[in-house]
Each structure stands twice: as structure tokens, then as C-alpha cells.
Amino acid sequence: MTLHTIILAAGKGTRMKSTRPKVLQTLAGKPLVRHVLDTCAAIGADSTVLIYGFGGQMVKQALAGYDIIFAEQTEQLGTGDAVKVALPHLPTTGKSLILYGDVPLTTENTLKQLVAANTAGISMLTLEVDNPFGLGRIIRKNEQVIAIVEQKDATDAQKAIKEINSGIYCVDNALLHKYLPCLTNDNAQGEYYLTDIVKLAVADGVEIATISPEFDFEIEGVNDRIQLANLERHYQAHQIRTLQHAGVQFADPDRVDIRGRLRCGQDVFIDINTIFIGEVSLGDGVQIDAGTIITDSTIGNATHIKPYCVIDGSNIGSDASIGPFAHLRPQTLLADNVKIGNFVETKKTTLGQGSKINHLSYAGDSEIGREVNIGAGVITCNYDGVNKSRTIIGDGAFVGSNSSLVAPVNIGNNATIGAGSVITKDAADDKLTLARSQQVTIDNWHRPTKKT
């Protein structure tokens, strides 16, 4: 059996008050529709047809790299019309999941269950809610689904029903090809309702299977900024609870954001106002202090990230100490027992085991050996205005405070650089190298005074 997905993403999202299509608004740092597409990829869909409308070019650009068939809905004539646009791209065999670009959090597990439930031709996702206002009601007879009625078309008795239609279906492609051309717009909104395929299927004796999602937020859609913010909080709380069940301790679960995937070992502690972006992995016993932002990085066991650090695209070993106020830029590789202190910035730099850069320094395009000590205010001058060059510092070297290492340059093993030096040539192993101008005292010099 082949499995296809149809994603409805043509809505403008007027209530968002944005120049961007609704499906490109972000949740957890990622466009809504990309959440849906990534879930489709996870369940192994054979093809995906995305129905676009407003801002179609922006949608196509934002989804470059995905294997998608784009189909345009030129007029907003309802969900049934939107799915009908996909028919030319849909085989008559196999099954299709019908999903929505503004319903981003339906889980892989729920969609797999929905596909498995489709044994007779149609399965659908429903949920009982306390306040069903505005949503389509599931009409049953002898416990079997016989119809779906929209709010505007419902009688008072039907409005009292609490089981609602999510709009998410798994349908045999043969039935889509059969029923979609038969839809009419004879209803209060003058639209072609996708829900009417259920009525047509029931008339043909097709039994409609239903399942419910594990979490209510899986069927929540987004129409305005308030709903988007509420869904963000539901999603963040769900991720935090999952990590708490796995043993992670949060100082305050409401003040952490995970905008990607966070993997944690045992006995991890995460303080307030921390943000994790992309793929982040924390080893056993890691402590992340307040205000830290970590993007696409790996942090080894028992490492301590002190407050207000920014770590991006970096790999940090075990038993390291980072910060406070450190900035590790992409391609920073730190071995075990490394110390990066206050207001230190690194970029495309490796530090060997036990090395230290404690204060107010910059190491860029550098290869730094083991047990190296970099003093306060040291910089690697890696850019000449046109080209980047590397600085190599051997094991056991000591670089005195306020020194400038003008790349390309090599500092030898166990070399010592005197404080305040500007090093433009290689420094020998086991030697003290100085590069300072002669100190002078100027007689008859007077400090400037303030002009009146």
C-alpha cells in the first residue's frame, strides 16, 4: 500500500495581520507547515501534495529542499475544493492522509494509528471537547458515524454534541476520486465541504473508523497571534514534561523554550530563561545556568554552562566550564576539562584538554593544544581585511595578557609570550618571546584640562 499526504495550506490568515501566509508563521522557531511536513517524512509518506494559494511564491521558497508536489487553489471555495485540486497528482490506488498546514502538532504516532484504522476506506480523527462551539459535530447512529454537521448548519440538538471533527482523515484514493467531484456547495457558507465525503461514503455503506489523539493540542489549529501563542505554550509544556519524566530537572518549566530537539542524559539541571534551538545534546550531569542560548551543539558529561552564554554549532567535552557571558560560535571544538571564562569569544577554534581562556579574549580560526593558558585580553588577529588565517598554539604554551597573535602564526610547545606582545612571527618551543616597543617617559608633558 502506498501512502500519500495532502496538506491544505492555501489560507491567507487575515487575522494574523501579516504579509506572510499563515502557514509560514513560526511555532517553536519553525514555520507551521514545516512541522507538518517533517511529521509526514517521519511516517514514511510516499508523496506529498501541498495545496497553496495566497503567497504561493513565498511558500515555495520557504519549502525549497522538500520533495513536494505543489498544486494551486486559485479560489477559496472550501476544504473539499482544496483537496479536489490534488486529484490530478493522486493515483487511484493507495491511501491519503489529509492534513492542514496550520495544524502543526499532530504526532507521528497518532497519524500511524489513523492509517492503521482505515480498514474500510475512511478513518478520521475526532475528539470530545467541553466547548465545541464553531466546530463540526460528529453525528452517530448506533455508535457508527453517519455524518458531520458544521456549526452554522447544525440544529440545537446537534450543537449539544461534544464530539468534534478535527478535519484530519485517512481516505482511500479511490474514494477521493469518486466522491470529490460529487460535492456541492448547498450549505450556509456556500462552500464545498470536505466533510460531505463522509455522508457520501455512509450512503454507499462504507463504515467510518475514528480514533482520538493522545493530546488535545494535536488537532489545534492557528488563526491568530493569540492562538499561536497558546499553542506554543502547549507545545513547550509537552516537551518539558517529556524531559521531566526522563529525569531532567528544570528550575522553572515555564521559563524554558525548546525550538528543535533537546536530548539529555541523567541528572541534567536547566535554569530559567534558557533557549535550545535545533539539535542539542546534553550529557550526564550537565548544568545549564540562567539566560543561556544553545543552538545545534553537543555538551559532554558534567560540564557547567554558566549564566548568559551563547553557544552555536559547538562541541564541548566533559568536565568543562563555560562562561559566564561566553560566546562560542560555530565550529568551536572544546576537549575535556577546558575552561572558557567571562566575555570570551571563540570561532572555528579547537582547544585541547585542560586548556584555559579565562577572560576578555577572542580566539578565531585557531588550533590550541593541551594545557594552554591564554591570558586576559588576548586576541588572535585572524582577518587581514580580505583573508582569514590560522593561529596554531602548541601544548603547554602560555600567552600573556593583552597580547595580539597576528595570523598566520605558530606558537611552539611550552612557549611563553610576554604580556602586551604583538606576535607576527613564529615563537619557538620552550622560549620566552616578547614583542614590545621601548617604554619611554616624556618630560614636560601636561595632562589636558577641560576647556571652559
Q: Which residues of 88-124 are buried (b: 16+ CB within 10 A; e: fewer)?
A: eebeeeebbbbbbbbbbbbbeebbebbbebbeebbbb
55-99 pLDDT, tens digit each: 999 999 999 999 999 999 998 899 999 999 999 999 999 999 999
Mean pLDDT for all residues in the chain: 95
Can you give the pLDDT at residue 448? 78
Band of pLDDT at residue 19, cut at 50, 70 and 90: very high
Residue-by-residue DSSP string for 317-337: -TT-EE-SS-EE-TTEEE-TT
User: Annotated binding site, which residues?
Assistant: 8-11, 22, 73, 78-79, 100-102, 136, 150, 165, 223, 329, 347, 362, 373, 376, 382-383, 401, 419, 436
Can you give the pLDDT at residue 440? 80
Band of pLDDT at residue 257, cut at 50, 70 and 90: very high
User: Annotated binding site for Mg(2+), which residues?
Assistant: 102, 223
Can you give the pLDDT at residue 443? 87
Can you give the pLDDT at residue 438? 80
Q: Judge residue 75's burial from the number of C-beta atoms within 10 Å of its C-beta, 0-12 exposed, 13-18 middle, 19 or more buried.
A: exposed
Choices 3.90.550.10, 3.40.50.720, 3.40.228.10, 3.40.50.11540: CATH for 3-219: 3.90.550.10
Predicted confidence (pLDDT) at residue 439 exceeds the cutoff of 80: no
Q: What CA–CA distances, in Å, run from 431 to 255, 384, 410, 414, 420?
A: 51, 27, 13, 8, 16
Q: By percentage, how much of the chain surpasses pLDDT 70?
A: 100
CA distance 187 to 81: 14
Residue 47 neighbours by CB distance under 10 Å: 18
User: Annotated binding site for acetyl-CoA, which residues?
Assistant: 376, 382-383, 401, 419, 436
Cell numbers for 110, please give them: 497518532
Q: Is 446 helix (H, G, I), strand (E, B) or coil?
A: coil
Is 89 one of the catalytic residues?
Answer: no
The catalytic residue among 35, 234, 359, 446 is 359
Can you give the pLDDT at residue 188? 78
Composition of the chain by helix, strand, coil, percent to 5? 20, 35, 45
* Range 167-195 average pLDDT: 93
* Range 286-312 average pLDDT: 98
Residue 76 · residue 69 · CB < 8 Å: no
Q: Which of 89, 95, 79, 102 is nearest to 26 (CA)?
A: 102
- The DSSP 8-state label assigned to residue 388 in this structure reads B
Sequence spans of domains, the chain: 3-219, 239-433
306-319 pLDDT, tens digit each: 999 999 999 999 99
CATH topology of domain 239-433: UDP N-Acetylglucosamine Acyltransferase; domain 1 (2.160.10)
Q: Judging by DSSP bridges, how do beta strands 137-141 and 144-149 pair with one another?
A: antiparallel
Band of pLDDT at residue 447, cut at 50, 70 and 90: confident
Q: Is 295 helix (H, G, I), strand (E, B) or coil?
A: strand
CA distance 194 to 81: 8
Q: Is 3 helix (H, G, I), strand (E, B) or coil?
A: strand
Q: Judging by DSSP bridges, how do beta strands 362-368 and 69-72 pair with one another?
A: unpaired
Residue 336 · residue 300 · CB < 8 Å: yes
Can you give the pLDDT at residue 1? 82
Can you give the pLDDT at residue 446? 82
Q: Helix 108-117 to helix 32-42 angle, to the nearest 10 degrees?
A: 60
In the chain the first and final C-alpha atoms are separated, in Å, by 89
Can you give the pLDDT at residue 444? 87
**Cβ contacts of 392 within 8 Å, gap of 6 or more:** 366, 367, 409, 410, 411
- The DSSP 8-state label assigned to residue 383 in this structure reads B
